[in-house]
Chains A and B, each alone.
Chain A
Amino acid sequence: MSQANDAAGPIASNMKPVQVKLVLLGEAAVGKSSLVLRFVNDEFQLNKEPTIGAAFLTQKCRLEDKVIKFEIWDTAGQERFHSLAPMYYRNAQAAVIVYDVTKASSLEKAKSWVKELQRQANPNIVIALTGNKVDLVANRKNRTNNDGETDEDGEQDAQEIDEDEEDDEDYAVTRQVPTEEASAYAQESGLLFFETSAKNGQGVAEVFTEIAKKIPLEHILSSSRGGRAGGVSSSNGRVDLQNGANGQRLGGQQEKGGCAC
């Protein structure tokens, strides 16, 4: 049923991983790909290939006693790719919507994505709002740079040209999205909320772990792989039966879940 053929390591070799389709959305250059890369390979890559349409990656994650295999669709952020997005968030059980804490407009775009998902996507979708690039504002050296253009380049380079302390000094920028504001919005819209840095890894794993916790895994397990189409909600008939089965199989230890990567 599931394609556990890529080495899952020693983890839970005795159980089938639960597949979770997760989609990353957000304005261009907020660090979606970097976030995934940090999560999947725990690295921050110099000059990563750009995302055309969408990139597909998988990562397994251990949660309590379950193994979750995230199928991650990392979408292109450029506005014109927007019309392709439904292709990727179709049937997704989770979405990470990323914005850039140093760029107020990116939160606006994020909000519009939230709206779109809430209306257009799987009704049970778990959405996480993630403010990326906190490293840029964390150790700011008060060299506020309000000029939009330079700003832009600054972030960009800071993201892409490795962790270089000297650069940091130059590219430190002001935070444009206060944590409280985004957090309040997330709460009001029923979203998970995180702030992350793909560059130093801060908060990245939590995003995925929390999503994993919140996802109604039993439903996913129960609905047959092929029938994911209708989304989790469509196959209620079978849910109860298999729910029980899952419960038996997975129930028990309640250790704190953690990402296996």
Chain B
Amino acid sequence: MAHLKPPHHVFILPTPCDQYNPLFDTVQSTENFVLQRTKASKSQFLNSFLGTIQNVFDTKQAPFRILFRRQLNAQALMIAEAETQKNIDHAWSWIQENFVLGLQVLDDAQEKEEWVLTKIRSLVTRADKGTDDITSDEKVRSASRAFRQTFNVLPSERLVSYYSCSFHGKMMNQGWMYISENYLCFYSFMLGMETKIFLELKDIGDLQKEKSKRGVFADAIRVVMKDGREYFFSNLFHRDETYDILVQLTTLTMERLLRNTALEHAPGQSNGDDPESVKDVFSVDVDSLDGNESPYSPTPTTRPLRLGLEEQKRDSQFQLRFNLPTSEHLMEESSATMVHGDKTDMFHGRIYMSESFLCFICTEANPCVLALPLFTIRRVERMNSRSAMYALNILTWHQMRVVFRLNGPRTQCEKFCSTLKTNLKLQVRAMRSLKPFLATCFSEALLADRPDVAEKDSGLGWIFEFPGDPKKLKNKSKTKLWLQYFKDNGRNLTMNKAATFPKLIRVGLPNKLRGEIWEACSGSLYLRSMNPGEYDKLLKDNEGKMSLSLEEIEKDLNRSLPEYEAYQANQGINRLRNVLSAYAWKNPDLGYCQAMNIVTSAILIYQSEEQAFWTLNVLCDRLLPGYYSTSMYGALLDQTILEHLLEKTMPVMSKHLKKVDVQLSVACLPWFLSLFINSMPLVYAFRVLDCFFFEGPKVLFQISLAILKVNGDELLASKDDGAFMDVLKKYFSTLDESAFPNSTNPKARALTKFNELMLVAYKEFESVTAEMVAELRRNHQLKVVHNIGSFTKRSQLRNITSGKFSKDEMSVIYDRFYSALFYGRSQSGRGSNKQGEARALDANTFVSFLGSIAHWAQVDDDQMEGDEVHPIDGSPQHRRRGSTSTTSTARERRRVVGKHFISRLFDRFDDNGSGILSLQEVTTGLGDIIHGDMMSRMQLFFDMHDLNKDGTLNRDEILGMSESLLFIYRYDDGDTYLPAISNFIRNAFEFAEKVEPEKKEEFVVEDEGDEDDDDNSKQAKDTEESKEGESGAEGSSTPKANSGTTPQPQEEPEIQMSLPSFRMVVLADETLERFFDSGFSGSFKLLEPLDRQRGLFAREVFDSLLSEGRKLAGSIAGGIQSRGRPHHAPTSSSSSSLPVDTNKSTSSIAEKDNPEAVVVPKDKSTPTIVADKSKDNDDDEDDDLEEVTKEDATEDDDGEDEDDEDGDGDDLLDEVEKFLTEFDLEGGGKKDLGLTSAAGAADSSSP
């Protein structure tokens, strides 16, 4: 049996459901399958009523479904569902075709079921790779379908979650909120009223938790878009969860957005590198959330995206808490009690396990944190001691004993133990690198009592002295304290951060231990120990390569901490160069940012190159995220937060600054970027660093606020930023002076201003916690990112030559341009992110860009439909003749035409032939079209279709042109274009071939297509004549017909049309003239909204009407033609017959080289003709047309006889009339369809 393509997007993973559902009627059934439709689709009233019920209680159900009857089980399995009868019918026939025979062979019920299910599954998973249709959670699956169909988004869009909630519009609408990767949507259907809200996550400017019902219930979220629109949703039962998901998704979106519009692109990338070979470091790969390893893995199902997101969030919290590398994932956790060392103290808290760490955190008054790499564990014993069933007695590498008692249910503990066992085994290999690693830790040397041995690989301070006076810094006694601490609590990798740890940090670290303890605090110690050799490899692999970042680094090497001796010599400079370059190679998106040199040069005094490299990693990726990125959004974000905190804690100061118009960040930004290193004297800056590495970025806020507080009086007296800066400069230079020089208390006198500062920071700004900072960052990030976005936009637009576009128009072009890039990236971004194209459109993104400003360019919609829509008369043998072509092939063809047209437009725009379009190229290209004159547009079309570039259009090229025109016109509601295009073809051929200005053979139309015309003349006539002939054509043409044209079907006539005659032909037709004059340029909608979606349903309905109409019209046309008696033809049908003829001619022409082409014009024009009849009978043109038709018809008799049908005039009339009424009815309804419910739409589509 000929292959009916299996209808995709109809079949779903088999889902159990009740066969006898009160809401469904059975339409057809066989032994194994049942086709059902909702009752709702029958009556409008029931429809709205049931719609409401379904809306309130459940997600929307598709009106049609196919069930598989299980013989083993009363419950049936739903295997397909569809919105329209057409789709379901197709699926039904496919099932009949493919399953029935197979099922007959199988006897066993079980076997049957398995066979069917396997087949369906493979069908679905193959078609829907990576989409929600194969997610393992069936609720998500169906909700996702409902979501995607309701909002007409791409099948690849993945639903994250959906919630019942109310939207406060003009009235309260109870409905469903859908949250997907890119969108936040709301749908409600209440008693016939449909509410749809479709928001792009990337445009969300703010999210606020709110209270509803006069502030009583905390169940609402307010969404503020960046353009100020606000949406209020309440009745959210899981408000906080919803909020968190939204925050998480918007954060991911923002990161993508930042990359998308970054000012610079991957500056750290090697100049010689193939851009595509560099992998995107920042990208959060959605695929990785799926738990789906290989892209080719046959895994039948995907996990719901939401689970992935939740996991990701849990993991990142876990990593953050213990400063672990991002490669660690939380595997087990349990409540536990720890006994550390020989002490008897018990710590109650929680124990966590990841791939290579065992972590414990004590939540009680006596805090302690331990993150033990598994490869530092020498031995684990399970003790079955008295108090606890499960106790793990762990001996660390440093001979420290730690006991964990697991307090949890038995099964949980067992699972924990067995995971531990597995993980330990996997870590055995890592233990080998432990010894060499520990040799680089100064704490080992210290404990081995050879503290003065300079380690082979240590900070510059070992060679060039450490800054500050060691005596004054009490270096010795501090070292002693730490020695004791190491003995009690372990060291480096196995160190437990006990209660005394923060105190030891705050008094300042001893010089030689400083580097190592920074590592231990920040977690870079783990990174270094787990990635031995990576640093050297990075440098070696990239040796000799150059990049923008490297150039920038080179410029700054001499200017980094120049007062420190080491940086006046090669030794220091080289180390600095190595570390900065290695980081730039590791993270080319970030590359190098000024300020990193300062921070790194400071760190290098205490740390070796490798240590510093990993510390820099932690710094840029975790502690100061986004600070040094190309947009520096992190730094800007934290400045916003600082301002916010200032307002909260020191309102007077905040007001004063506003009053005198001083921007806080003018002073504070450098503090944050260079971690006070070039603001404070070095000795103090390192003290700040000590705290910073241990406590994180909140310290920066605390200290900044304290600085402002301490200098409050003077700052309040400052009236401008200059004075402001002076106060602070002076303050920093006197940090070592006594804070209370006049105090009688010698102890107070001994306090330096720095001591005072730290006291104020910790005491008065205790309330600034890490959580608070994290939360504030979340709350402000959207605004900051959008600010950066609008800044980038402004500065980019400034550099664009905008031609005649207004500011607003340019703004729209910019937005659409980057929107196309944004979504284009996210799609292709699954797997491969092409860096080189970050700021330019490629062929694909250009299509979506064009689609966003011109309706006709929305090819992708067609594609979607094309996949989905298949002929009603499912079985192939039904569609024999070309005249009843299948919708899908027609569509396919049209899509090809469209793609070609757009890609030629792309080439046109692409001035430099780079294969990508910059914003400038797009602007210029669009400007030429929109602001050019009619002549230039005609030239454009001419050039675009002159494929062989010979300056003339040959026959195929002319046909190509007409197809393009049809393509562009295809969404037009009017129908005048069909006769126009047929005129075009006719005239084009006429003028192209005629040598002599005879004005007759217009009706060449008919034949020139396949037969006639051996005389290939160049474009013949001069303008006037042609025009005359043109306009006269329709009316007068009758007599001449046969003269020039001799039907010779076999021969391909060569015709060529030059630009002038093309112009002529265009100008001869009012519609075409209008098209080139204003129609085409007007089709680009920049300022007015594009009626983007007519709704999938509406179009499907329309299509099904078309295919019905097509059959009819086909027969009508055939009838008319074969009849060949013009006077019989009623007016109504005559106007229709012309296009049909044309159509035929084009198709037959095309047939020769491309059988598919037949389909196009036929399919396209025929139904529209019908519309023509119903609406436009009175057009003046019609009269002319009528006559032509007669001609044509007559001619037809001579020329061709391919239409088999011999219509009887009367019967035909009846048929036409019948059809017309039908069409009119439905056609009238069609415009509303977009607004009525899916069920409603489906209803009207069913005959």
A91 CA / B794 CA spacing, docked (Å): 19
User: Quick one: closest A residue to B795, CB to CB?
Assistant: A116
Whether the Cβ atoms of B551 and A56 lie closer than 8 Å is no
Residues of B within 8 Å of A152, CB to CB, are 551, 554-555
* Known contacts A3-B723, A79-B263; A50 and B798 CB within 8 A of each other: no
User: Is residue A189 contacting chain B, with contact meaning CB distance below 8 A?
Assistant: no
Residue numbers of B with Cβ under 8 A of A are 263-264, 267, 546, 551-552, 554-556, 558-560, 562, 567-568, 593-595, 597-598, 628-632, 636, 659-661, 663, 665-666, 669-670, 673-674, 678, 718-723, 725-726, 729, 788, 791-792, 794-795, 798-799
Residues of B within 8 Å of A29, CB to CB, are 555
Whether the Cβ atoms of A50 and B594 lie closer than 8 Å is yes
Which of A198-206, A208-216, A221-229 forms part of the interface with chain B?
A221-229
- A138-184 residues with Cβ-Cβ distance < 8 A to B are 149, 152-153, 156, 160-161
Which of A60-68, A82-90, A124-132, A241-249 forms part of the interface with chain B?
A82-90
User: Quick one: closest B residue to A108, CB to CB?
Assistant: B799
* Known contacts A47-B562, A52-B674, A82-B795; A226 and B594 CB within 8 A of each other: no
* Known contacts A49-B559, A50-B597; A80 and B720 CB within 8 A of each other: no
A112 CA / B801 CA spacing, docked (Å): 13
Residues of B within 8 Å of A156, CB to CB, are 554-555, 558
User: Quick one: closest B residue to A72, CB to CB?
Assistant: B722
- A27-54 residues with Cβ-Cβ distance < 8 A to B are 28-29, 46-54
User: Is residue A218 contacting chain B, with contact meaning CB distance below 8 A?
Assistant: no
Residues of B within 8 Å of A161, CB to CB, are 558
Please tell me which one of the listed residues B594, B788, B794 contacts residue A51 in the complex, with CB atoms under 8 A apart. B594
Residues of B within 8 Å of A88, CB to CB, are 666
Please tell me which one of the listed residues B263, B567, B661 contacts residue A82 in the complex, with CB atoms under 8 A apart. B263
Residues of B within 8 Å of A83, CB to CB, are 263, 631-632, 636, 788, 791-792
A-B contact pairs, 17 of them (CB 8 A): A3-B718, A28-B552, A47-B567, A50-B556, A50-B595, A52-B598, A52-B673, A52-B674, A54-B670, A58-B722, A71-B722, A80-B628, A81-B594, A83-B263, A83-B788, A87-B663, A152-B555
Closest 7 CB pairs of A and B: A47-B562, A71-B722, A50-B559, A229-B661, A53-B669, A52-B670, A56-B725
User: Quick one: closest B residue to A90, CB to CB?
Assistant: B663
User: Quick one: closest A residue to B723, CB to CB?
Assistant: A3
Best-surrounded residue of A1, A21, A71 (most CB of chain B within 10 A): A71
User: Is residue A256 contacting chain B, with contact meaning CB distance below 8 A?
Assistant: no
Whether the Cβ atoms of A49 and B678 lie closer than 8 Å is yes
Residues of B within 8 Å of A53, CB to CB, are 665-666, 669-670, 673
Please tell me which one of the listed residues A6, A50, A51, A115 contacts residue B799 in the complex, with CB atoms under 8 A apart. A115
Whether the Cβ atoms of A149 and B546 lie closer than 8 Å is yes
Cβ-Cβ contact count across A and B, 8 Å cutoff: 126
A78 CA / B629 CA spacing, docked (Å): 12
Whether the Cβ atoms of A228 and B661 lie closer than 8 Å is yes
* Known contacts A54-B666, A80-B593; A116 and B722 CB within 8 A of each other: no
Residues of A within 8 Å of B791, CB to CB, are 83, 86
User: Quick one: closest B residue to A82, CB to CB?
Assistant: B263
User: Quick one: closest B residue to A70, CB to CB?
Assistant: B722
Residues of A within 8 Å of B666, CB to CB, are 53-54, 56, 87-88
Q: A76-B594, A79-B264 are in contact. List 11 more A-B contacts (CB 8 A).
A: A3-B726, A6-B726, A19-B722, A46-B562, A53-B670, A54-B666, A56-B721, A71-B720, A80-B263, A87-B665, A115-B799
Whether the Cβ atoms of A52 and B551 lie closer than 8 Å is no
User: Quick one: closest B residue to A224, CB to CB?
Assistant: B719
Tell me, rounded to whole Å, the shortest Cβ–Cβ distance linking B960 to chain A: 42
Tell me, rounded to whole Å, the shortest Cβ–Cβ distance linking B920 to chain A: 14
A224 CA / B89 CA spacing, docked (Å): 80
A79 CA / B631 CA spacing, docked (Å): 9
A79 CA / B591 CA spacing, docked (Å): 12
Whether the Cβ atoms of A56 and B669 lie closer than 8 Å is no
Residues of A within 8 Å of B794, CB to CB, are 120
Tell me, rounded to whole Å, the shortest Cβ–Cβ distance linking B373 to chain A: 36
User: Quick one: closest B residue to A115, CB to CB?
Assistant: B798
Residue numbers of A with Cβ under 8 A of B are 1, 3, 6, 19, 21, 28-29, 46-54, 56, 58, 71, 76, 78-84, 86-88, 90-91, 112, 115-116, 119-120, 149, 152-153, 156, 160-161, 225-226, 228-229
Tell me, rounded to whole Å, the shortest Cβ–Cβ distance linking A102 to chain B: 14
Whether the Cβ atoms of B660 and A80 lie closer than 8 Å is no
Whether the Cβ atoms of A78 and B594 lie closer than 8 Å is yes
Tell me, rounded to whole Å, the shortest Cβ–Cβ distance linking A17 to chain B: 11
A249 CA / B788 CA spacing, docked (Å): 46
Whether the Cβ atoms of A91 and B661 lie closer than 8 Å is yes
A153 CA / B556 CA spacing, docked (Å): 11
Residues of A within 8 Å of B729, CB to CB, are 56
Residues of A within 8 Å of B267, CB to CB, are 79
A71 CA / B792 CA spacing, docked (Å): 28
A152 CA / B547 CA spacing, docked (Å): 13
Please tell me which one of the listed residues B555, B629, B659, B798 contacts residue A226 in the complex, with CB atoms under 8 A apart. B659
A161 CA / B557 CA spacing, docked (Å): 12
Tell me, rounded to whole Å, the shortest Cβ–Cβ distance linking A80 to chain B: 5
User: Quick one: closest A residue to B717, CB to CB?
Assistant: A3
Residues of A within 8 Å of B594, CB to CB, are 50-52, 76, 78, 81
User: Quick one: closest B residue to A79, CB to CB?
Assistant: B264
Residues of A within 8 Å of B798, CB to CB, are 112, 115-116, 119
User: Quick one: closest B residue to A160, CB to CB?
Assistant: B558
Tell me, rounded to whole Å, the shortest Cβ–Cβ distance linking A121 to chain B: 12
Whether the Cβ atoms of B593 and A78 lie closer than 8 Å is yes
Best-surrounded residue of A54, A81, A83, A160 (most CB of chain B within 10 A): A83
Whether the Cβ atoms of B720 and A228 lie closer than 8 Å is yes
A149 CA / B648 CA spacing, docked (Å): 50
* Known contacts A47-B568, A50-B594, A112-B799; A80 and B559 CB within 8 A of each other: no
Residues of B within 8 Å of A51, CB to CB, are 594
Whether the Cβ atoms of A80 and B725 lie closer than 8 Å is no
Tell me, rounded to whole Å, the shortest Cβ–Cβ distance linking A161 to chain B: 8
Residues of A within 8 Å of B264, CB to CB, are 79-80
Tell me, rounded to whole Å, the shortest Cβ–Cβ distance linking B574 to chain A: 15
Residues of A within 8 Å of B795, CB to CB, are 82, 116
Whether the Cβ atoms of B726 and A81 lie closer than 8 Å is no
Whether the Cβ atoms of B562 and A49 lie closer than 8 Å is yes
Whether the Cβ atoms of A1 and B719 lie closer than 8 Å is yes
User: Quick one: closest A residue to B677, CB to CB?
Assistant: A52
A80 CA / B556 CA spacing, docked (Å): 15
Residues of B within 8 Å of A1, CB to CB, are 719
A119 CA / B562 CA spacing, docked (Å): 38
A52 CA / B678 CA spacing, docked (Å): 9
Best-surrounded residue of A29, A52, A76, A152 (most CB of chain B within 10 A): A52
A79 CA / B628 CA spacing, docked (Å): 12
User: Quick one: closest A residue to B725, CB to CB?
Assistant: A56
Residues of A within 8 Å of B629, CB to CB, are 80
A229 CA / B722 CA spacing, docked (Å): 14
A76 CA / B673 CA spacing, docked (Å): 12
A82 CA / B631 CA spacing, docked (Å): 9
Best-surrounded residue of A3, A46, A156 (most CB of chain B within 10 A): A3
Please tell me which one of the listed residues B554, B559, B669, B799 contacts residue A153 in the complex, with CB atoms under 8 A apart. B554
A81 CA / B629 CA spacing, docked (Å): 10
Tell me, rounded to whole Å, the shortest Cβ–Cβ distance linking A52 to chain B: 4
Please tell me which one of the listed residues B567, B631, B678, B722 contacts residue A80 in the complex, with CB atoms under 8 A apart. B631
Residues of A within 8 Å of B674, CB to CB, are 52
Tell me, rounded to whole Å, the shortest Cβ–Cβ distance linking A20 to chain B: 10
Tell me, rounded to whole Å, the shortest Cβ–Cβ distance linking A142 to chain B: 26
Whether the Cβ atoms of B722 and A3 lie closer than 8 Å is yes
Tell me, rounded to whole Å, the shortest Cβ–Cβ distance linking B725 to chain A: 4
A6 CA / B727 CA spacing, docked (Å): 12
Please tell me which one of the listed residues B546, B567, B673, B720 contacts residue A225 in the complex, with CB atoms under 8 A apart. B720
Residues of A within 8 Å of B721, CB to CB, are 56, 71
Tell me, rounded to whole Å, the shortest Cβ–Cβ distance linking A258 to chain B: 23
Residues of A within 8 Å of B720, CB to CB, are 3, 19, 71, 225-226, 228
Tell me, rounded to whole Å, the shortest Cβ–Cβ distance linking A84 to chain B: 7
A99 CA / B725 CA spacing, docked (Å): 27
